Each structure stands twice: as C-alpha cells, then as structure tokens.
Amino acid sequence: MSWQEAHEAYQNHVMGCPNCYAPKNLYCVQGAGVRNEYITEWAFSLPTRDERRRLMIVEKQRNPHLYPQLDALVRARLEIQGSE
C-alpha cells in the first residue's frame, strides 16, 4: 500500500467515524490503527533514515498516547525489510 492509499483510508475512516476527532488526536481503536498505518507508510516513503527519525520524534512528542502502536508497526516493518 502506498502512503497516498493509506492516507485516503485514514481520511475515509476519520470522516465517517463518530468517535474519531482528528484535530484533537482522538481516535477509536480502528481509527488509531488506520492513522498509524498511514504514518508508517508515509515514514517509509521518506528518502532518508534521518527524515524518518525526525518524523518519529515529532510523533512521539505530539501524540504520546498513539506512539507505542506506531513504534511497534515501524519496528515490525524494519524487521521485515531486514530479512528480505
């Protein structure tokens, strides 16, 4: 899935879910998962490791309640890439 497709899935969910409120970073369980998948795809579309690292630092600062799941997704993706 490309980051654009992941972004569209995120937007579609947030716009249709009565429990998600993106301006305040409030998401239902599914919304948080879709958002983190989008951020993960976006991070891996960045050209350098340093840019990905900066994105993760910002995410950890701005969204500490969402960060653990995001970090797990990114680490899993790195393991898969390392084994290929």
Host domain of residue 16? 3-83
pLDDT, position 59: 94
Q: Give the torsion sign (CA, 56, 37, 70, 14).
A: positive
Q: What percent of the chain shows pLDDT beyond 90?
A: 88
pLDDT, position 14: 96
pLDDT(57) > 90? yes
- Among 6-15, 21-30, 56-65, 73-82, the range scoring the smallest mean pLDDT is 73-82
pLDDT(83) > 80? no
Domain count, the chain: 1
Assess contact for 3 and 45: CB atoms under 8 A: yes
Helices (H), the chain: 3-16, 29-45, 49-62, 67-83
Assess contact for 66 and 27: CB atoms under 8 A: yes
**What span, in angstroms and rounded, lies between the C-alpha atoms of 69 and 56?**
12
